[in-house]
Structure 1
Amino acid sequence: MTVAAPDHPEAIPRTRRRPHRVYGVGQDPEPRDSLANERTFLAWVRTSLALVAGAVAVSSPALEFSLTARLLLSLGLVLVAGVALGVGWHRWTRTEIAMRTGGPPPGFTGGMVVLGAVGLLMAGALASALVHH
């Protein structure tokens, strides 16, 4: 099966599109739906980058946290950033496959996990600040 773009005379074989497990199933969805799904994935990427930036900021010696607290908070933020990136990729994949096969969209469990992890890290930072003052 091939995919032909209206402004391209040649068709692109579907098997060349990657990842194959996403693009190799079902029918092509509406381009605006697929692009909206991609924008959502990019929002997850931005969130991950913001969490890494937060990890760098928390590791600053200018903060009045102990070295151990700064390192633990930084490591926690980097780990949550990795989880957020994985959740975003997984959600993009599941949503794209659902659109291609006519299935239901995925739930928001991954987002709740990331939100909970960030909340726990913030509570840890607050507790560390209160203990050291």
Structure 2
Amino acid sequence: MLSGTMLSLAVMPVLADQVSIGQAEYESSCASCHGVDAKGQGPFAELLSLTGSPPDLTRLQANNDGVFPFERVYRVIDGREEVKFHGPREMPIWGKRYSDDALDMGMVGEMMIGREAYTRSRILALISYLSTLQE
């Protein structure tokens, strides 16, 4: 029988190959415009030429005196800070989308705290992933 430590070590390579929740969020919600590499050259980037091109998300920290702008990134993702090329506030405000997803899963009424926690956890996972992409 394997000890807990040995079992953990045996499972580690499998977990290392898995995509993080934040990376999955990024790939499904952001990469179409910002690109898989987050440098602003996703397949839909050229469609945004009227409102500006998507920024290079790997430079957020460098463009903020070496400090990752956590609060601003949070506000952009949850929709509190308007971003010109994101278009009207209805699209794409990921905080609203995540909240709607929670509603679709039945998180209403007494589960409103669960709905808020679900929304916040998805935003935080995405921000965590973005922080790992900084150059």
Note whether the superposition's TM-score is higher than 0.5: no
Q: From the two aligned structures, give the one with the greater strand fraction.
A: 1
Give the TM-score normalised by structure 1. Answer: 0.30
Greater gyration radius: 1
